[in-house]
Homo-oligomer: A and B are copies of this chain.
């Protein structure tokens, strides 16, 4: 059976990536080393074919992947993609949305259903996300904002969920523009089922996208993994309503890590549905927006400048000096480093290192814990 699928791959990079999408999901647990990270690294370096051959020959071992490969009927899956009208994008395709290349763990491939050409997202895509348990206020704001952005030629990206996501898609549709829903399941199903009518209307001009092949069901880890795609696809992310523990804040965190603009809509301070937005506005370097016009003011020029993903980072780093940027680069993400180590790594004087760390801390991009400095966790 293993041989069967490999024969169908026939040396084709796209088919090899489809196979990998059945075998290992890029992000299982982003906080530690996982098969997903390993495979992503191998594919980034060598392409998808060689690691697949390694897996088939046994020179590469990944828990469960061999068995999944053995059980995979690739030909049947490719027929299903055809039948469902799902195309498969891979890096290098004209339609490949470049924003995904910024991800530490990019998807093996992107499944797309619907006419909207994904490459436009990197210039025009704006994520509008928020709580499922939204209020009428949040729903109204999301809808109006999405309509305004769509009216001005932007493409609203969201997650197709109840609440703010659905309101954002509805707003885009009301302005008769395309909108993109990024799902946490295969594109053979509409989840949540109650939004099936919405998804069908999205398919007229927009698209449903996913990194998961048909047949995959949505569950918690997949929602979190999906959020990184929403964050990466556009030039910025707006959170309309989010309680303190809303999953939409994870999208904002991913967007921030990717150097995308992150903006939040405030609400009544008495509303728990806005508490997460207020918390971020209070404590992190994110922007406050009140409507679509504010979003365009904030992100309007960004699409133009965004062809080089590295320039996106300037949205945060514009505020800091070259020395501070060097210092920021020297600060580790996880274990932290003390001032002496950072001084050595940055080449700055002790005093400049200390003062620079203070400035970076004030901007919320580094944090100090038990004598050690690390990049601030943003989720």
A227-261 vs B, CB cutoff 8 Å, 1 = contact: the mask equals 00000000000000000000000000000000000
In the complex, whether A278 has a CB less than 8 A from a CB of chain B is: yes
Minimum distance in angstroms from A285 CB to a CB of chain B:
11
A241 to B225: give the CA distance in the assembly, Å. Answer: 39
In the complex, whether A265 has a CB less than 8 A from a CB of chain B is: yes
Q: Which of A291-345 contact B (CB under 8 A)?
A: 291, 294, 318-321, 324
Q: With A266-B267, A267-B266, A269-B267 in contact, do A362 and B318 touch (Cβ < 8 Å)?
A: yes
Indicate if the CB atoms of B294 and A282 lie closer than 8 Å: yes
Q: Which of B268, B291, B358 contacts A267 (CB 8 A)?
A: B268
Set of chain B residues within 8 Å of A318, measured between Cβ atoms: 358-359, 362
A29 to B16: give the CA distance in the assembly, Å. Answer: 75
Indicate if the CB atoms of A319 and B359 lie closer than 8 Å: yes
Indicate if the CB atoms of B137 and A270 lie closer than 8 Å: yes
A140 to B140: give the CA distance in the assembly, Å. Answer: 24
Set of chain B residues within 8 Å of A275, measured between Cβ atoms: 290
Indicate if the CB atoms of A269 and B270 lie closer than 8 Å: no
Minimum distance in angstroms from A27 CB to a CB of chain B:
32
Nearest B-chain residue to A287, judged by Cβ: B282
Nearest B-chain residue to A322, judged by Cβ: B355
A222 to B163: give the CA distance in the assembly, Å. Answer: 49
Copies in the complex: 2
Set of chain B residues within 8 Å of A23, measured between Cβ atoms: none
Set of chain B residues within 8 Å of A362, measured between Cβ atoms: 318-319
Indicate if the CB atoms of A359 and B270 lie closer than 8 Å: no
Q: With A294-B282, A318-B358, A358-B318 in contact, do A269 and B269 touch (Cβ < 8 Å)?
A: no
Minimum distance in angstroms from A246 CB to a CB of chain B:
16
A142-170 vs B, CB cutoff 8 Å, 1 = contact: the mask equals 00000000000000000000000000000
Minimum distance in angstroms from A94 CB to a CB of chain B:
36
A264-287 vs B, CB cutoff 8 Å, 1 = contact: the mask equals 011111100011001001100001
Minimum distance in angstroms from A125 CB to a CB of chain B:
22
Indicate if the CB atoms of A266 and B278 lie closer than 8 Å: yes
From A137, A140, A278, A362, residue with most partner B Cβ within 10 Å: A278
Minimum distance in angstroms from A15 CB to a CB of chain B:
48
A137 to B268: give the CA distance in the assembly, Å. Answer: 8
Interface set of A (CB-CB < 8 Å, partner B) = 137, 140-141, 265-270, 274-275, 278, 281-282, 287-291, 294, 318-321, 324, 355, 358-359, 362-363
28 intermolecular pairs with C-beta atoms under 8 Å apart: A137-B270, A140-B270, A141-B269, A141-B270, A265-B269, A266-B267, A266-B269, A266-B274, A266-B278, A266-B281, A266-B288, A267-B268, A269-B290, A269-B291, A278-B288, A282-B287, A282-B288, A282-B289, A282-B290, A282-B294, A288-B288, A318-B359, A318-B362, A319-B359, A319-B362, A321-B321, A321-B355, A321-B359
The 7 closest A-B pairs by CB, nearest first: A266-B266, A269-B290, A281-B288, A278-B290, A282-B288, A319-B362, A268-B268
